[in-house]
Amino acid sequence: MLSIAMPSNVEIKAKVSDLEEFARKAAQLSQSEGTIIRQHDTFFNCSQGRLKLRDFMNGSGQLIFYERPDTDGPKLSRYSISPTSDPPSLKAVLSDALGVKGEVRKERRLFLIGQTRVHLDTVEGLGHFMELEVVMRPEQSVNEGQQVAVDLMEQLGVSEENLVTGAYMDLILKGHTEA
């Protein structure tokens, strides 16, 4: 069976204690103030990986399927994305077909540093986080991508004890079950 390689990136997620300091360092490294993006993600039940509909709250969105291990530190994420111009309609169909696992609302500030997308996220009900997404080039090894992430983590002052293992959806679900 012919399999076409999905795009991949190396990701790190961590809790951010000083929002202003992180934003200052990210702005300095990216030489920009970043772009503000509002996102409403709806996660659907699926048998493997994760399936989410990202609504940008402006009439556009993306259906995203991804697979990545739930470990802290740099990890490889494989994904596929399909744009949509009608997120509410697609959400209704997928909700009926698969059922909703949960929802995440966030305001994201995006900085581009080299081949890395740096996100400074304020997540409703969770607080402040950062995500690094090293967009892998075809010739790069996972180790090279992980090293880019670790180096950038150091430059941004992110300590290992602040690393987070799962997705925001996982954190929200854990919070709801522990509360």
pLDDT digit string, tens, across residues 82-134: 999 999 999 999 999 999 999 999 999 999 999 999 999 999 999 999 999 99
The span from the CA of 53 to the CA of 43, in Å, is 7
Residue 2 in any domain: the answer is: no
Q: Has residue 103 been placed in a domain?
A: yes
pLDDT at 2 over 80: no
**Whole-prediction pTM value?**
0.87
**1 domain-assigned:** no
Provide the 8-state DSSP code for 161.
G
Question: Confidence band (pLDDT; 50, 70, 90) for 5?
Answer: low
3-class SS at 80?
strand
H/E segment holding residue 170: helix 168-178
Quickly tell me which residue has 């200052």 as its tokens.
24
Structural domain includes residue 40: yes
- Lookup: tokens for 17: 């204690």
44-85 pLDDT, tens digit per residue, is 999 999 999 999 999 999 999 999 878 877 888 889 999 999
Residue 55 lies in a domain: yes
Task: Answer yes or no: are the C-beta atoms of 7 and 79 closer than 8 Å.
Answer: yes
Half-sphere exposure for 15 (CA within 13 Å, toward CB): 9
CATH of the domain at 44: 2.40.320.10
Q: According to the model, what pLDDT value does residue 4 have? A: 53
Query: Is-contact 132 73, C-beta < 8 A?
Result: no
How many domains does the structure of the chain reveal? 1
Element (H, E) at 167: none
**What's the pLDDT band for 165 if we cut at 50, 70, 90?**
confident
- Mean pLDDT over residues 151-161, rounded? 95
pLDDT of residue 178: 37
SS3 of residue 165 by DSSP: coil
- The domain of 115 spans 8-178
Which residues are registered as beta bridge partners of 61?
55, 84
